[in-house]
Amino acid sequence: MFSPFISQATSVRAIMFKVMLALLPAIAVYVWYYGPAILVSITLASITALITEAAMLKLRGRPIAPFLRDNSALLTAWLLALSIPPLAPWWLVVVGTMFAISVAKHLYGGLGSNPFNPAMIGYAVLIISFPLQMTHWLTPHGLGQLELSVMQQLQYIFSGQLPGGATLDAVTMATPLDTLKTQLHLGRMPEEVLGMPIYGHLGGIGSEMVALAYLLGGAYLLANRIITWHLPAAFLASLFVTAGIFHLADPAHYVSPVFHWFSGAAMLAAFFILTDPVTSPTTLRGKFIFAAGAGFLTYIIRVFGGFPDGVAFATLLMNICVPLIDTYTQPRVFGQKDEK
């Protein structure tokens, strides 16, 4: 038995739990705008994550109970489920979660040892392997030609059948961010595109509210000191500045930075993805560099790349740089002269 003999009552389990708690507002908004499909995919992802986690722990010869209780696999599952279209065949989220937990997490050494954000790896695998399924997002409440009931959503998820031979296009659409890119490519003006009925005040109808809910959850995490302000602030600032420069230089082709804040997974990334401590730098300066880089890359990928959003690849690219960033941003220690 060794000192210190006392400990503050925080635990990995409690931290992960609070992060999941902070996701609840966004999930509620999701259900409001898109129906309960998201709950199904979160449940599927959670069950898959726990089973995969237990199986991997067993294979690795690690104690199963303490690690299953740490909530980290569940959080990965939730983040992945929130990143992919809710109305998708059941196996999509299952495959993504299995890959995230088994390969991205456990093959690298499990909790604390994975260099890449597991949820983003899961997303990347899915978007590369199943691009079609990954781009069909439910049309928000009140905008579609056809609205599915709870049972109809469930039926599609598990059997792939839509009622009355309807096509998937009747109930889904591309994301507002994706739509904007496509329309701008077709030569339309930003104001014209953003005048479409799917757009609201900040971003897309529904998705802008989800983004606001993430912001609310992020505020809760900040208030509870689960995360610090450095990563979200640097990411959002960098995204804003990058988008702002393009917007100011050529407003005919580039929309306002506010749209970029409230579209796609920007808010999710700022408060829930980049803030994964395992895959982000440990030094203060490193955190700024990491998050600013991710903000910049997110913009570049989402505007000039071929994917509907840039958050996942921006995060993964910056994840690669973390050891390097940490090495070169070591702070001075107590009593060390400032000059080197």
Partner 1 sequence: MTTLHTFHGGVHPPQHKQESSESAIAQAPLPSRLVLPLQQHIGAQAKPLVRAGDQVLKGQMLARAEGMVSAAIHAPTSGTVVAVDLHAVPHPSGLPELCITLAPDGEERWVEHAPLDYRALPRDQLLTRLRDAGIVGLGGATFPTHVKLNIGETAGIHTLVLNGAECEPWITTDDRLMRERAAEIVQGIEVMRHLLNPAATLVGIEDNKPQAIAAMQQACANTGIEVIAVPTLYPTGGEKQLIKILTGKEVPSGGRPLNIGIVCSNVATAYSVHRLVNHGEPMISRLVTVTGNVKTPRNYEVLIGTPIAELEKLAGVLPGSDGYILGGPMMGLYVSNSELPVVKSSNCIIVKSRALFPPLPPALPCIRCTRCAAVCPAELQPQDLYWFARARDFGKAQKFHLFDCIECGACSYVCPSNIPLVQYYRFAKSEILAIERDKEAANLARERHEFHQLRLERDKQEKAEKLAQKEKAALAAKAAAPAPAQAATTEAKANDSAQQLPAQQLPAQQLIEAAIARAKEQAATARAKNTEALTPQQQADIAEIEARRAKVREMSHPDADSPKE
Residues that bind partner 1 (CB under 8 A): 1-8, 10-12, 14-15, 66-67, 70, 72, 110-113, 277-278, 280, 282-283, 326, 330-337
Least CB distance from residue 272 to partner 1, whole Å? 15
The residue (of 12 and 170) whose beta carbon lies closer to partner 1 is 12
The residue (of 15 and 162) whose beta carbon lies closer to partner 1 is 15
The residue (of 2 and 223) whose beta carbon lies closer to partner 1 is 2
Least CB distance from residue 230 to partner 1, whole Å? 10
- Cross-strand partners of 204: 199
Please give the biggest Cα pair distance in the chain.
Answer: 75
Query: At 264, which amino acid appears?
Result: G
- Using an 8 Å Cβ cutoff, are 138 and 35 in contact? yes
Quote the Cα angle for 56-280-220, to 5°: 95
Query: At 158, which amino acid appears?
Result: F
Query: At 223, which amino acid appears?
Result: A
Least CB distance from residue 96 to partner 1, whole Å? 22
The residue (of 3 and 145) whose beta carbon lies closer to partner 1 is 3
Least CB distance from residue 330 to partner 1, whole Å? 7
User: What distance in Å separates the CA atoms of residue 89 and residue 142, rounded to the nearest whole number?
Assistant: 23
The residue (of 7 and 145) whose beta carbon lies closer to partner 1 is 7
The residue (of 109 and 131) whose beta carbon lies closer to partner 1 is 109
Element (H, E) at 258: helix 257-261
Least CB distance from residue 240 to partner 1, whole Å? 25
How far is the CA of 150 from the CAs of 40, 85, 143, in angstroms?
10, 16, 17
Q: At what angle do helices 72-83 and 37-59 cross, to 10 degrees?
A: 140
User: What distance in Å separates the CA atoms of residue 155 and residue 8, rounded to the nearest whole number?
Assistant: 48
The residue (of 201 and 337) whose beta carbon lies closer to partner 1 is 337
Least CB distance from residue 286 to partner 1, whole Å? 10
User: What distance in Å separates the CA atoms of residue 193 and residue 335, rounded to the nearest whole number?
Assistant: 58
User: What distance in Å separates the CA atoms of residue 38 and residue 44, rounded to the nearest whole number?
Assistant: 10
- Using an 8 Å Cβ cutoff, are 124 and 316 in contact? yes
Least CB distance from residue 111 to partner 1, whole Å? 5
User: What distance in Å separates the CA atoms of residue 30 and residue 10, rounded to the nearest whole number?
Assistant: 30
How far is the CA of 171 from the CAs of 44, 147, 154, 204, 309, in angstroms?
22, 7, 14, 16, 21
Least CB distance from residue 337 to partner 1, whole Å? 7
Least CB distance from residue 72 to partner 1, whole Å? 8
The residue (of 94 and 226) whose beta carbon lies closer to partner 1 is 226
Tokens of 48: 């898959």
- Cross-strand partners of 172: 138
Q: How far is CA 87 from the centre of its chain?
A: 17
The residue (of 1 and 186) whose beta carbon lies closer to partner 1 is 1
